[in-house]
Amino acid sequence: MTVAGAALVDWRGLMSNDESRLDGATTWLNSPPLSSASLRGKVVLIDFWTYSCINWRREFPYVRAWAAKYKDAGLVVIGVHSPEFAFERSLDNVRSAVKDIGVTYPVAVDSDHAIWRAFGNAYWPALYFIDSMGRIRHSQFGEGNYDKSERAIQRLLGEISPATFDTGLVTPVASGAEAPADWANLKSPETYAGYARSTNLASGGAVANRRRSYDAPARLRLNQWALAGDWTLREEAAVLEKEGGRIAYCFHARDLHLVMGPGTGGHGSFRITIDGRTPGADHGVDVDAQGRGTLDAPRMYQLVRVAQRIGDRRFEIEFEKPGAEVFSFTFG
C-alpha cells in the first residue's frame, strides 16, 4: 500500500455536468457509465484498486460480499481501477483480471489517474463511503477495519430506509491469494525490482538501463535479494536478457508473491526452490509441489504458502526464457 496524505472531496465534484458520469474514466466494465441520475438516492462505495496489488486482493472478498449483500438495500459498489505498473494500463489486461478474479460490480477504468487525482487518493486499496446526498462520510485506507467499514455502510443505508437488511456482519471465505495475511509472522516488506524503487539488492554493481551479468551471493541477510545471470534493471522491473536467469530472496513470511510477466519472451516456464529444495507442501497456487509454473501474463503470482515452519527462508526462481519481467515481491 502506498502511504501518503489523501484529501477528501465532494462526490458531486467528480461528476461531469454535461455527461453525468465519473469524470476521467477512460471506459467502464460490467456496466454502462454511471450517471449522477442513476446514483441519486443510493449509497455509493468507491474502491480504488489495481489488479496486481496483494493488499487489494485480501480486501476484495469483503467488498464482493458487501456488494452482494446490500445491493437490494441501495448500495452501489464501484471499483476504480487505477494502475500502479504500466502493464495495468492495458485495457485487455484489466478486462482479463476482472474476469479471472471475479469482479462483477461496475468498474471505472482510471488508466490516466484522473479519478485518483480528483479524490486526492494515495492508496491501494482505498474505500470512500458516500451517502445518498453525495457526501463522503467515511474512508478506509489499506486493509483491515472491515467491521467498522461494514457498520459505516449499514449506517448510511439506514438513513435511506431503516431495517431493510440483515445487520449481521459478513464472514467471507477467502483462499489462495485472498486469504488474510499471517501478520504475526510477516517480517518481510514489499520489495520492488525496478531501479526507481529498489532496495536491499545484494548483487553488486547494479546499473540502470544497461545489460549486465549479476551474481547471487551464497548467503543473503533477511530481506536481501539478488540477481543471477544477465539482467537489465529498468525503471519498473528487472528484465531477463538470457535464459536461465535467477532471482533469490531471503524472506520471513507465510506467503510469497511475485508480480511478474513474460514480457517480450512470450509464455514460458519457471521453477522455484525454497532453501535449495522443491517446495512440496509449501507451494503456492501458481506452482506445483515440484515448484514448476507458467509465466502466462503480467500479474501477481502466489509462489509460496508455507504449511508449517515459518522462518528465514531462501527463495529462488529460475526462468526458462529471456524477456521475463519482474516487478515486485509481496508477502503475507
Which stretch of 34-43, 128-137, 249-258 has the lowest confidence by average pLDDT? Answer: 34-43
Q: Is the separation of the CB atoms in 49 and 124 below 8 Å?
A: yes
- What pLDDT sits at residue 201? 97
Q: Over 50: is that where the pLDDT of 16 sits?
A: no
- pLDDT band for 6, please (50, 70, 90 cuts): very low
CA of 323: how far to CAs of 205, 231, 272, in Å? 21, 9, 18
Q: Please tell me the pTM assigned to this model.
A: 0.91
Which CATH code of 4.10.320.10, 3.30.70.3270, 3.60.21.10, 3.40.30.10 fits the domain covering 11-178? 3.40.30.10
CB neighbour burial string for 76-114, b if at least 16 within 10 angstroms, e if fewer: bbbbbbbbbbebbbeeebbeebbeebebbbbbbbbbeeb
Confidence of residue 169 (pLDDT cuts 50, 70, 90): very high
With a cut of 60, say whether residue 50 has pLDDT above it.
yes
Q: How confident is the model at residue 287 (pLDDT cuts 50, 70, 90)?
A: very high
In the chain, CATH 3.40.30.10 sits at: 11-178
Instruction: Give the contacts of 107 (CB within 8 A, at least 6 positions apart).
Output: 28, 29, 30, 31, 78, 79, 80, 81, 94, 98
Q: Which residue has the higher pLDDT, 210 or 10?
A: 210
Predicted confidence at residue 14, as pLDDT, reads 44
For residue 159, pLDDT beyond 50: yes
Q: Which fold has domain 183-331?
A: Jelly Rolls (2.60.120)
Look up residue 122 and give its three cell numbers: 494515495
Q: What is the pLDDT of residue 38?
A: 81
Length reported for the chain: 332
Q: Which helix (H) or strand (E) holds 89?
A: none
Report whether pLDDT(171) > 70.
yes
Three-state SS for 192-250 is ECCCCCECCECCCCCCECCEEEECCCCCCCCCCEEEEEEEEECCCCEEECCCCCEEEEE
CB-count exposure of residue 204 (10 Å: 0-12, 13-18, 19+): exposed
Beta bridge partners of 23: none
Can you tell me the distance from the alpha carbon of 52 to that of 84, in angstroms, rounded to the nearest whole number? Answer: 8
Query: What value does the mean pLDDT of the chain take?
Result: 92
Tell me the pLDDT tens digit for each residue of 106-117.
999 999 999 999
Residues of CATH 2.60.120.260 domain(s) within the chain? Answer: 183-331
pLDDT mean over 286-303: 98
Min mean pLDDT across 34-48, 56-70, 73-87, 131-145 is at: 34-48
